[in-house]
Each structure stands twice: as C-alpha cells, then as structure tokens.
Structure 1
C-alpha cells in the first residue's frame, strides 16, 4: 500500500501493534480530527493484520487519536500533505490499570475484548503437539464443539476464516479439524456483517457468527499436514489425512478420509430434506463418546464414510482475491432404533412404540467460491457462486404400535419404505459498490439468485394391508432478490442510509401417487396426488441512521414490507388463493464499551417468515400411515420480534472473563401444527385407510409463541495447578402453541444446562481436563392437567494426554453418563472409556504408532428426547461397540 492522492482524496495509512509482543491489533479506532474544522474529521478501524487506512483527508493538520480496549490512548499531531502520509508501525502500550503493573514471567493473557470481537490467545491454552484447532478451541471458555457443530457463547458458529479468508465454505467442523493447533496465533470471535453491509458500513442485521483463525507469522509459509492409517478388530479401519501448502497469499489444502468407525469430521448438508432430527427446541442426545482427538464425530448407527476436498485462496495481482473450495462426502449408515412417544389428549394420553431398521447411502458435493475485484479506490465488485448436490437412498423397515392408557392396541403398522432422492442447489450473489468523492457517500447494489430442485421416488410396502404405494415428487424453487443502498454522511460520526429491496420466490411441487393392490398393476390415486405452485413477492423500502464514535455505536432503522402470497393449485381441483401483507420492520442496534474493558451489545428487530411449499400444498402424505400430514393453502406469513443482549467483559489483570448472552423471541401467526387423532378407521382412497388412533397434522397459524434463553460463561485462572476453571450456565423457556382435536394448547418447556471444567495449560507434554455437565428440561402441556414430563442427563469425566519417557504417549478419556427419562424404564447409566498407548519416533517425532481401544468397558449407549406441541418422544439408537485398533500417524512439518 502506498500513500498518495486518489479519486477518494488523500489517505493516511499505518499498522498498529502491541508494544510488548508485537502482535497486530484488530478493531482499534483511528480518528483524524481536523485542527481547524472538526466537522471535517475522518476515522477508520484497523483490520485483521493491524493495518488501517483513513481516506478522504485534506492538506491540513490533524490530531490523530488511536483507541483500543486494554491499551493506552495514543495521540499525535500529523501534517497531511498532498501525497498523504504513511504513519508506519505504531506501537500501543498496555494500560497498567487493566493489565497490572507487575509482569509475571510466562503469564499470557488468555482473553481480550476489543470492540465486539473476543480474542483468544492460543499460547494461553496448551495442547499436545498433534492437536487440531478443534482441540484448541474446545479449551477456550464459551466455545463448545460437538457433533452438531460449533457454538460461541450460546450462538451457533456458521463459518471459520483463516487469516480473514473463507476456509471450506460454511463448515466449521471441517475447518477446525483440518488446521493444526501449532500454527494458530489467536482465535477471534465476532459477528461478520453481510457483504453489502461490510461495504456500506451499515449493519443490516444479517450477521454471521464467525471464528477467524490467525496464523503465526513463522507458520505462514510452508508445507504441513497429517497422514494416518489404522486397522482393527472386526475388519474396522480408518485412513486419511490433510496436506497444506502455504506460500504468502497462495494457500492450498487437500483433505481426505475413509473409515467404518463412525468418524465424520464435517457437517452434512441435507438438500433433499430427508434427514431426521429433533423437534424444535427439543433435546437431541448422541451416543456416548470421548472428546479426545482420536475419537471424533461419532455417529448413531454403524457408518462407513468416504470424503475428499480441497480449499484454495490466492491474490491474483493487486486487484483480485480468490477463495474457493470443493468437498465430497459419502456416508453409508445402518441404524436400528426404538422410539416411545406420548401424545397428550384432553382426557388421557396415547402411546406409540416403534422399532426401525434403516440402511442409508448418502452422497454430497459442495463447491463454494468468492471473487473480490477491487476495480479502483472507488469501485469494488464481489461475486459469490456456490453449488451443492445430494444423492440419498434408503431402505427402512418399521414396526409401530399405538395404544391407550389401558394398554389397548389402537393401531399398528408393519412396512418397508424405500426412497431414492436427488437434489441440487445453485446460488450466486453479486455485490457492487461505488464510492463518491464525499467520504461516507456511496451507492451499492446487491443481487442474489437461487435455484433448488428436488426429485423423490419413494416406495411404501404395507405388510399388513398387502399393498405397495409409489410416490413420485418433484419440487422446484427459483428465488431472486435485489437491493439498492445509498449512504450519506451526517456530521463527523453519523451516517444515513436508504435502501430498497425486492424479492420474488416461485415454488412448484408436483406429487403423483400410485397403488398396487397386489395385482402387479399400478393404479393412479387422484386423492393423494397434487400439482401446486406458490409465489411470494416482497417490496421493502427502508431508512437507517447510524452514529459511531470511539466507544459506542447506535443504529436505528425502519422498513416497510409489502408482501403478496399467491397459491395456484392445478390438480386435482383447480383453485387460486392470493393474500397480501403489510408489515413494519423496526431495527435498533447499539454497542457501548464498558469501564475496565468489555462491551454491551443490543439488537432488536422485527421480521417475517413465509410458509414453505410443503406447508401450503393441500395433499395428504401417508408415507407414515400412523402420522399423516397435509398442507394448508390458507396459511399466512408469521411475524417475529427478536431481542438480543450480549455482555462480554475480560479482566486481563486477573485472567478472568465473563460473558452473558440473552435472546427473547415472540411470534404472531406462528406456523405450528393442528393434530387430529382418528377416533375410527377412515378410508382416504382406494385401499388406503387411516386407522383408529392415527394422527393427521395440518399446519396452522397460532399466536402465543415465546422463546427465552440465557447463556453465561465464566473463565478464571487457577495458577496453583496451571489450569483454567471454565464454567457455563444456560437457562431457557419456550412456549409452543398447538391444537389437538380442535383444542388449543401450549407446550411449556423449561430447560437448564451447566458445565464445570478444569482445563490444563501446563505444557504440551501433559494435557488434561476434568468436567461435570448436566442438562435437562421439564415439559408441561396445558391440554392435559397435571401432565409433566422431564429428563435429566448428567456426565462426569476426564481426559488425559501424557507424553513421557522417550516419546511414550498415554491417552485416556472416560465419562460416566446418567440419563433419567420419561419413566423409570427409560433410565440408564453407563461408563464410556477410551484409551490408547503410543510411541513417537522418526526425526522430530514425526511418526507415531498407536494401540487404541474404543469403549473399553463395553457400555456405550445412545438416548435422545424430542419435545413437540402436544407430545414428547424418547429414542434409543444403535451405536458402535468395543473395538481395538493399531494406527500409524505421520506429521508433516516444513516451514520457512
């Protein structure tokens, strides 16, 4: 970067660093105040590499002020000439009031708060030499990693950046498992604004919870990675690895894995909508597993996984930056499970017991890319295309029985279900921005398109009725939107923004059903077939005002949305439905720095949510004959109010940090289900019967939805044992409206979870943590007086990685889990113990030969609970049992 005069005026550039460890400071505010006319002042914020650029300056004297939390303010009188000014490297001194006058040798500040960004210093969290970044961040207070993904302070992390650039799209698990911990300098957690908001400076509320992994300077160039292979009892195996080639801005990563021990270090993408899952807000457990590095991503059932992928980023010249990735994964899963569901009726409960054997073959392809073209100082273009494809095939055998409180059998099903599903998703986003001569004045245009296509061929064989039903379904979605935003400066710290957004979504669904009554001939079933098309269009003008200064930010906005929802049923009976909606969507955001470090952030917003095509299409789906569904073309869009408050504070003097995250959400016209329980057998079509006790669910709009959650995390140093004490506490309440047999009711769910963990940071040769965690909920349904159900899951355990005499490594993780469920018969407890012994050898201990055992005590189990508006369900799932394995691992390290 050079100084000079451009079409944007004169610039001042520089780099801000810590005066002690020379680390780059991100989020520091650089303010240039014109000595003669303060209204002509300018400011900027330092980037990931500590660099800043203050634009649109004039030939004049300025008072430069730099402010960064935890550091002393820096001021200097600067003369800006015709060619601008290069301030070079500016070192900020740490504030003694916050950091302490006495420096303790070897003491590293683990957490810092800078603006709305939380910074974790990797040197404060000691891990073993072979650890991944996933192992590293699991030690950081407030960050949780499990099979469902990654969360930070109660919020789901949606993407991981590597030195500010995207790494394997939006798959945090894959990213963290690929990056070795030893290259990490720090981890930054923040809310990344949308592409257009980053250009305009206005936060439109469309933020992405992001982890940015900053690499060490000495590790930015080199070839490094890991290769491994193992073989065990019962013909179990694992093989895989990753290779990274970094050379300045050019970075290439190649990964791959194959195993039949249920290891899956990535997130799956369900385009076809075929994966099962828990009810909204319900607890979903998982098989017991260790959290150490050699047992990751354990799944329900028995899975064989194959995957391969690559990620590439580079700067092409001075104007173009490219970020791209490709990833393929295939999973073959065999799973047996048992489910018990209690449905609450007005007078008594109804019980459903189910046994399922399922075999699934799923394959995904994902391509993500981002191209940034800085045309010149005044114009920038960003293009983000992506493509995903899924092929899913499954065979499921189900035996289900419904009974009443007295044990009388109401109905049963015995069926085989075969499905063949394919889907693709093609998306592209284009953002263009033009900056005018006046600083803060800009215009930007954002356009995005999305094409989604799903094809399903499903075959249902009813072994009770001796018939075969064939379902042929095709769904197509075309979605596009465009937004134009204009910004205008107001004074020295204010900015006004006006925008207009238009969006149109066209959704079509064609369902054809055929039945074979054991004659060999398929008969078209008109009553279970439907052709439907829905269009949803919105127009949204908005205006926002923002004011930003050193230690605070305030943003208030108001949008008006006009929406039309048109439904066109073309078969079996033609019919058109059209509705329009008028909504006012306010937005309020504010952030203020707290005394002594930390900040408080608040965001309130109103939003709408349109019904999906499956919720609108008026056709009965009897693929599960005891739980039928049908759409409702009369649905309205829902309206939600959301309030989020986040408080984070770090005491660097005492190595303590605390954060609190609270979210409150209400909704009117909330889309939920009305359930009707059949009192007698009912004929749907031909030989297709809805049995007595079976349920028909119809989506409806109801008011009264509430959701409140609070999550608090705290970390403190225990210097005596060179460890950290990490604690977390979560509380939640959800009121879910529903309707059963015409009676409206609420399912009130009260939840709580907590964890206490002692995590070591002694050195890389000894790594341990000891923890206790508990989670549970209490469900009260208003439809049946005195109906309470609850669960409590408790876990206590520890992990150890110890390297001692001549490279011998002992690893162990053990956990005792106790589950108390719906009734006494569902209670269970078990101990899962994984252990290994290994020997490091070769130059720099690059090689390791390991003997490991999974589930030493043969007690591994799995249980989960799901909560709905008028039911609670408990599921036990098949899991992988004990095995022994010999494994060889080679660490590739060549830096410089």
Structure 2
C-alpha cells in the first residue's frame, strides 16, 4: 500500500501536466496573403479575463501556444499594428487537446466602425519593431504590487531564485528606469520598489555593448536591456524605509533610508545601527536591504549567523545622480554620480583551531604533529569613502572620469596560545603570543577612459580606446607584539620576544593603456585584408613604493626598548612595466533570417612583457636592480549558434600565457624570527615563473518566445601548467616550527572543471526551479619536505543541488543540499595516509503568506564536518519569523524573529593543504529573539497618496529612438 501510494503521489504531477492543450495557426495579411511577423497572439480565461499565455508569431506568421487548460472557456486575441484585431472564443476538448486555426487573415484598419468581438483585457505583450513591450495594465494585482510581482506573471519572463532575470531564455544584463540606472543599477532597486501602477510599459531590447574595447559584430558583443518606462505623471517620487528593533541578549537594529527622484536627479540616504551581524559594505548593499517588496526570497537584510565573531555596525551612506539632459535613450548619457560611505565596526572574535600535519624526518620515519590553538581578538575601526564619476556617452563615443577616496582608522588587540603534540602523546612545544596595533591609511584613485568606437560604420582609422589611472595610498601603523615559544624536542629551548613596530608607507601607481583598432584601414585603405582586423595595444604601468620600518626590542637587562638593527630599515621599490602587442581577429558569420545565426571569431594576440625593477634599501643586501623580458602570446576561438525561437549555444577555446618575476621579498626577505612557526628564507637565484593556461567553455540556454519553461547550462574546463614556479623546500622542527627555503620547481599543473544546469517551469500560477552546481579541482606539484622530494596531489569535489518552488504571493520554499570533499595524497613518503576533509550542508528556506498580509518565514542549515582529527563536528542552525503588513498600501510592518532556536550556532571551516588538515571554529551570534517595527514612506507623482495614478498607454518607438 505504501509503494502504491508513493506511485500515485509521483504520478499526480504527470496527470496534471497531461491535462494541457495547445493552439496553433498562421497569421497573414488578408489582401496580399503575406505572413505577418511579430503579431501578438494572446489567450485569456473567459471567466475573468486572466492572462493564460501569449506568443509572438515568427517570420512565417506561425504560432503554437501550449500549456493551456482543457474544458475551460478561453478568448484568443490576435493583434498587429495597423490591422483590425481578431478575437474568438474557444474551448479545448479533453480528447484532442488541440485547436488548429489554420490560416487567419487580418484586415487593415481602414475604418473605425467595423464590428469586432471585444475582449476586456488589454494586450499584455507586443513587438514594436525589434523591441518587446510589456503592458502592466494587462495584469491584475493588489494595489501595493511592485514591478517584480508583475514580472512573475509574464509568460517568457523568468525571475530566478538568485535574482537573475531572463526574457525568452536570454539573461537581462541591464535594468534601467527611463533609460538610466536606478540608484546604482541593481535590478532589485527598480523591480522591488517601483509600484506597478507607476509604470507605462517595460521595454526589452538587444543593443551593442560599446564598453568593449573591440567589437566583433556578433551576438557576443550585445547586451539585453530591460527599460522600465514611467508614466508621465510618475517621473518624480520618493520611497524608503524606517525600522526599529529590540531583542533579547541586548540585541538591537535600526534602519533609515529615503530615496527621491525626478526626471534628471536621484538622491538617496541610508543609515543603520545593529549588533546582529548585519554586514553593510556600501550604500548599494544598504539600499538593497531596504526594498519594499515583502516576499524576500534571497533573505536580504537578515542577520548573518555564519559571520565570524559578534559584530556591531554603525553606518551612514548617501548616493546622488544627476543627468544633464532628460533623454530616456540608453545610447546617450551625460551624467555625474557620487556616493559616500561612513562605517564604524566592532568585532569580538574567538577562534579555536586544530592543525594536523603528516611528516617524515630526514631518515624517512613518518610522524604526525597535532597543534591545538585558541585566540581571542577585538578590533574596531572607522571607514570612510567618497566616490564621484562623470560619464558622457554619445552613441559609441564615450568618456568617463572617476575619483575615489577612502580613509581607515583601525585598532585591534589579540592574544592566543598553542600546544603541539607529536604522534598524539609526546608534548612537542607550547607557545603564547599577544599583539596590540593601531593603523591609519588614506587612498586616492583617479581613473577613466575614452572610447571612439563607432562600429556601426565599420572599423575605421579613428577607432581607438584608452584608459588611465592614478593611485596613491599612504599608511601608518604602530603595534606591539610578544611571543613566548618553548620546545621540548629540539634540544629543549625557549624563545621570547617583545617588540614594537612603527611603519610608514606610501605607494604611487600610474597606468596608461591604449588600444588602436583601425590599423587595417590605416595600412591597407579600402582593401579589406581578407576581413582580418588588426589592432595595436600598449599598456604602461609605473609604480613606486616607499617603506620606513622602525622596530624596537625589549632589553630585559635594562628593561628598555632598543632599536633592532636587523629589522629597522628604509626601503624604496620602483617597478616599470611595458606591455606592447598586436592583435589579429577575423569573424565568420552565416545566417538565414529568423531561422538561425552562427558566428566564428578567431583571434590571436602577440604580446611582449617588459619589466624593470629597482630596489633601494638601508639594508645593503636588498639593493637590487633587475630587468626582465617575456613573450606572452594569447589566442582564442569562439563559436556562437542561435536557433531562432529554439536555443542559443556558445563554445569557446582560449590559451593565454603569463610571466611573474620574483619580488624583492622573495629574493631577499627580511627575516622576522618572532613567528617561529613560519620562517621564510629567500633565494637570490630565483627565476621568473612562466605559466600557460588553456580554457574551454560551453553555454546553452533555451530561447523561446513566451515559453513557460526555461533551461540553461554551462561548462568550464581549465588546465594550467607552470615552469619555474616559485615553491619552497620546508624544514620542520620536532616542535612544529617551519622554515621555508624558496626554490624554483617545474611540472606544477592543475585542472579544474565547473558545471551548472538550471531549469525553470511555470505551472499555471506556480513556479518550480531546479539547479545543479558542481566543481572539481586537481593539483599536482612537487615539493621538498625535510630535504626529501614529496610531490602532492590534491583533489577537491563540490556538489550542490537546489530546488525552488513558489506559489506566487502565497508560498515559496528553497532546498539546497551541498557536499564538499577534499583529498590530498603525498608520494615519496611511506606509511602516509591521505589527508581528507568532508563538509555536508543541508539548507531549507520557506516563506508562507497565510492569511493575507501575514508572512511566516523559516530557514534551517544542517552542517556536518569531518574535522582535522577525524571527528565529526555538526550544528543545526534554525531561524524563524512572523511578519504582518498593514495599512491600505501595506506601508507598515511588525515582525517577530527568533534566531538560532536550537542554540547550536558555530562557524566551521576545513582547510586542506599539501600535508596538513586544519579545522577552524569561530564564535558567532547565539540564540536571541527580536521585535521590529517598520514603515515604508512612498509617493509616486501627483498629489494623491501612495502609489496611485492614472493609466496612460504609450505609443513606443523602435530601437533607434526609444523614448
């Protein structure tokens, strides 16, 4: 009976899918009998005019719409600009489930009084030249609904659970409002704040990406843009959020944000105070935490219980944007943008760490070192940053200038202890350390670019692009560090240090890059040189770094601090790098209108890398002057195949080479013996490392007009080899101390593969999304341990499966299962067991809106780790909340939350290296409860309250002049 019941349960969805039908036909001009491409075919439910599905006819005027209910009255409406609409009532029979219209002839609209069937609903989607236009008035929603609520109901539009938007299978790269970025350009700022009633229409169109340095005139050069056009009386307004929350265990939070806009300007301010591990990095993330949309699938603004330590944050930010013209075209821009961030943080951190090392002594006898350590620290700091950008773009000619400044002031204290055992029984060493530090830094960055790439007229002699940057930073720090190390196996010795450090540093970097793409036209004139494009490029970077280090050490005899001559020094480094190159690329294309399009781009870059280094120091052994010269070619092949209204496939194969010269700290490092566990010894004979990288990638995504189902998949394979790689020969003491002698080593190689696949299904008003993400990495490199060659192989496999199901505004749930497994094996050492690490994570998150305006949310994360000492470390972290939205426009909210209900929160991390396994556990927030009150001030145009306003149907224009 149980098996039969399970079979029935599994077959229910199959039966549900089976009870679907479809309609098909051809749309033609009644007089000339030619096909009408891009006519809109819309299907409504007769009972309430609910939109069921729609489709745009192809080049042959064909349509075929599926996923339609059987035994249900429906209206089918066909519309095309300049023609009289066609409407018919139908009902699909459960036996055949198909209605074939054959050929439908539309008559030109030459008279206004012709009789026609009237459908109360309006056309939801239509093609206006090459622009897809979505009509908000075709979707019946609550008065408080926002753009995202509407997009969830548009056939062909998929709102993925990670925030990505696709239209007919294509990923939306930009979301604009009236042709301009909306408060930073994040899609959520527009889709989760703007009310549906303020929208005139939503346009979706393809355009060239003129920010690219070189255009190949293929689909790879284009971006998909979604432009939300506001109604004329809604082009100014404001919205925001005010929140106050208090909880148990002295927890609190407060949010205040307000954004206002008009036709040319946008201003937003935001503030936050909390001690619940809500991380706020900048004004953009702060604003995203305060969007109006109540159905928060990605848990924005929630405390981060996986964050290490207990954090307190005080934050204030502001953003400003002004457009010097009111144009709504995305091809033109003349604007200035600015942001300001101020953040004060305090972090209390407790760290417990276990490190297991598998070693062999010089006689080949294997042994194990297990080091247990604990550390407590507190850091507090103030961070400020200001950024201003001016942009001017006219079609394909663009200019940008960006200025950024940030300032930091940080204090920190820490202390810790460690104990090392040999073979789990013999006490090998003990150590204790403490530190106090204060640091300040200033950073100024000027950068920009100028592009003159009018590829619509072909690549000509004036086609070039340039970029430039100037970076200056200065820092000053004071610290005090003590160390007490005692070894019981290395001739029983003790080392004690008490040092004070004062460092002053500055860094200046200037960079100028130039790309000239019109060399073919310059050399060959009108001769097209077999359509091979030729470009010149050159990039020059000049860097100067200065350091003044003053180190004083405690003299125990006099109890005074004296200068440490070995560590006190003044150092200056000059690096000049010049990278000239010439590139050749050719594009092959083939197409059949509205059937398929394919392109092949072959490219090669011949590049030279010239590097000059000069180091000047008061430590004579660090006075070095060197120059290097490398040939670093690169090449690539990219293939794109687009099957119209079916799918798109991209394949790419690339090779690149790079060289890395050894730094002064690798050639002649300053040896600071205070860190007995990790001492690095330089090598003045180090050679430059030279690497080759080979990459293959493949991407597939379905592309069907108004399809209810969407699929995409991606595969990336990378293989790297390294010659003269800089590695080390490590000598381990019996007490666990490590001395690393830097050496060059060959035959280092690695491989990685990543695969992801996602599918989305719209089931009437519901949505199901499933996804898989997997990755495999393998590294193989020789090294020396205790003077013996000991190559290691590292294998890491990660898998994650995610399922997301939603019932529009009622319910959604996300389930994720991930497994991470890492194995490291060493060759050349006998009786060594592989080092292993495993991590299992099971996550579940759901939101339920029952009854209306009540939202019940819960998430749980089950963790299980195999630690460094082969013990299982697990935790179950469960959070839940209940939210109630009230007032007419749902602008007020009360919320009760419970965090870490099971009181098991801990942060666990495993790290596997060549011959060691480390498990780190840090503290985090523990169980607490919180009550918050929020209010969302909102007004969009007019004098009325809330988000109301009259409707207006825009006429729309083509891609060349969108307004």
**Structure 1 match to 2:503:** 472
Q: Does residue 215 of structure 2 align to residue 201 of structure 1?
A: yes
Q: Is the 2:387–2:404 contact (alpha carbons within 8 Å) kept by the matching residues of 1?
A: yes
Deviations 1:70-127 (A, max 9, x none): 862499xxxxxxxxxxxx9999x9xxxxxx9899x99x999x9xx9x9x9x9x99x99
Bigger drift between 425-434 and 254-263 goes to 425-434
Deviations 1:588-614 (A, max 9, x none): 333221465332223324142646856
Q: Does residue 417 of structure 2 align to residue 404 of structure 1?
A: no
Gaps of 5+ in 2: 1-36, 43-54, 62-79, 86-97, 102-119, 285-295, 328-332, 361-365, 486-495, 592-596, 942-963
User: CA, structure 1 residues 719+215, in 2 after alignment: closer, same or farther (shift >3 Å)?
Assistant: same
Q: Does residue 122 of structure 2 align to residue 72 of structure 1?
A: no
User: CA, structure 1 residues 568+554, in 2 after alignment: closer, same or farther (shift >3 Å)?
Assistant: same
Q: Does residue 501 of structure 2 align to residue 448 of structure 1?
A: no
**Structure 1 match to 2:658:** 608
User: CA, structure 1 residues 191+607, in 2 after alignment: closer, same or farther (shift >3 Å)?
Assistant: farther
Distance 1:844 1:351 in 2: 61
Q: Is the 2:588–2:599 contact (alpha carbons within 8 Å) kept by the matching residues of 1?
A: yes
User: CA, structure 1 residues 473+755, in 2 after alignment: closer, same or farther (shift >3 Å)?
Assistant: farther
**Structure 2 match to 1:644:** 697
Report how far residue 379 of structure 1 moved: 5.1
Bigger drift between 717-726 and 230-239 goes to 717-726
Distance 2:430 2:538 in 1: 51
Q: Is the 2:581–2:606 contact (alpha carbons within 8 Å) kept by the matching residues of 1?
A: yes
Q: 2:192 aligns with which of 180, 185, 188?
A: 180
**Structure 2 match to 1:381:** 399
User: CA, structure 1 residues 74+342, in 2 after alignment: closer, same or farther (shift >3 Å)?
Assistant: farther
Q: Is the 1:127–1:135 contact (alpha carbons within 8 Å) kept by the matching residues of 2?
A: no
Q: Does residue 820 of structure 2 align to residue 799 of structure 1?
A: no
Distance 1:746 1:852 in 2: 48
Deviations 1:426-483 (A, max 9, x none): 1302214165995432422303123142525233122451522425252524141221
SS of the aligned residue for 2:669 comes to coil
**Structure 1 match to 2:334:** 320
Distance 1:158 1:673 in 2: 42
**Structure 2 match to 1:481:** 512
Distance 1:406 1:348 in 2: 10
SS of the aligned residue for 1:195 comes to coil
Report how far residue 411 of structure 1 moved: 3.1
Q: 2:924 aligns with which of 858, 879, 882?
A: 879
SS of the aligned residue for 2:889 comes to helix
SS of the aligned residue for 2:277 comes to coil
Q: How many residues align?
A: 762
**Structure 1 match to 2:543:** 506
* More contact order relative to length (CA 8 Å, sep ≥ 6): 1
Distance 1:187 1:618 in 2: 59
Q: Which residues of 2 match residues 50-61 of structure 1 at below 5 A? A: none
Q: Is the 2:397–2:450 contact (alpha carbons within 8 Å) kept by the matching residues of 1?
A: no
**Structure 1 match to 2:583:** 542
Distance 1:353 1:700 in 2: 32
**Structure 2 match to 1:778:** 822
Report how far residue 735 of structure 1 moved: 1.1
Q: Is the 1:707–1:734 contact (alpha carbons within 8 Å) kept by the matching residues of 2?
A: yes
SS of the aligned residue for 1:731 comes to strand
**Structure 2 match to 1:417:** 435
Q: Is the 1:723–1:762 contact (alpha carbons within 8 Å) kept by the matching residues of 2?
A: yes
User: CA, structure 1 residues 436+695, in 2 after alignment: closer, same or farther (shift >3 Å)?
Assistant: closer
Distance 1:818 1:129 in 2: 39
**Structure 1 match to 2:647:** 598
SS of the aligned residue for 1:620 comes to coil
Q: Which has the larger radius of gyration?
A: 2
Distance 2:824 2:506 in 1: 38
SS of the aligned residue for 1:455 comes to strand
**Structure 2 match to 1:836:** 881
Q: Does residue 720 of structure 2 align to residue 667 of structure 1?
A: yes
Q: 2:310 aligns with which of 302, 305, 310?
A: 302
Report how far residue 813 of structure 1 moved: 1.2
**Structure 2 match to 1:275:** none
**Structure 1 match to 2:760:** 716
Distance 1:384 1:847 in 2: 39
User: CA, structure 1 residues 246+879, in 2 after alignment: closer, same or farther (shift >3 Å)?
Assistant: same
Q: Is the 1:128–1:767 contact (alpha carbons within 8 Å) kept by the matching residues of 2?
A: no
SS of the aligned residue for 1:292 comes to coil
Deviations 1:595-641 (A, max 9, x none): 65332223324142646856566223556431234666635254333
Report how far residue 677 of structure 1 moved: 4.3
Q: Which residues of 2 match residues 236-251 of structure 1 at below 5 A? A: 236-251=251-266
**Structure 2 match to 1:223:** 238
Distance 1:833 1:131 in 2: 30
Q: Which residues of 2 match residues 614-693 of structure 1 at below 5 A? A: 618-621=669-672, 624-629=675-680, 634-639=686-691, 640-650=693-703, 655-669=708-722, 674-680=727-733, 693=737
**Structure 1 match to 2:352:** 338
TM-score calculated relative to the size of structure 1: 0.73
User: CA, structure 1 residues 664+638, in 2 after alignment: closer, same or farther (shift >3 Å)?
Assistant: farther
Report how far residue 814 of structure 1 moved: 2.9
User: CA, structure 1 residues 581+134, in 2 after alignment: closer, same or farther (shift >3 Å)?
Assistant: farther
Distance 2:748 2:598 in 1: 35
RMSD: 5.0
SS of the aligned residue for 1:804 comes to coil
Distance 2:624 2:142 in 1: 64
User: CA, structure 1 residues 825+434, in 2 after alignment: closer, same or farther (shift >3 Å)?
Assistant: closer
Distance 1:239 1:612 in 2: 49
Q: Is the 1:769–1:799 contact (alpha carbons within 8 Å) kept by the matching residues of 2?
A: yes
Distance 1:204 1:781 in 2: 46
Distance 2:802 2:143 in 1: 22
Distance 2:143 2:903 in 1: 28
TM-score calculated relative to the size of structure 2: 0.68
Report how far residue 754 of structure 1 moved: 1.6
Q: Does residue 560 of structure 2 align to residue 515 of structure 1?
A: no
Bigger drift between 698-707 and 234-243 goes to 698-707
Distance 1:834 1:206 in 2: 43
**Structure 2 match to 1:866:** 911
Q: Is the 1:530–1:619 contact (alpha carbons within 8 Å) kept by the matching residues of 2?
A: no
Distance 2:142 2:812 in 1: 9
SS of the aligned residue for 2:936 comes to strand
Report how far residue 781 of structure 1 moved: 2.5
**Structure 1 match to 2:894:** 849
Distance 2:193 2:255 in 1: 18
SS of the aligned residue for 2:688 comes to coil
Q: Is the 2:750–2:780 contact (alpha carbons within 8 Å) kept by the matching residues of 1?
A: yes
Q: Which residues of 2 match residues 701-740 of structure 1 at below 5 A? A: 702-717=746-761, 719=763, 722-735=766-779, 737=781, 739-740=783-784
Q: Is the 1:70–1:597 contact (alpha carbons within 8 Å) kept by the matching residues of 2?
A: no
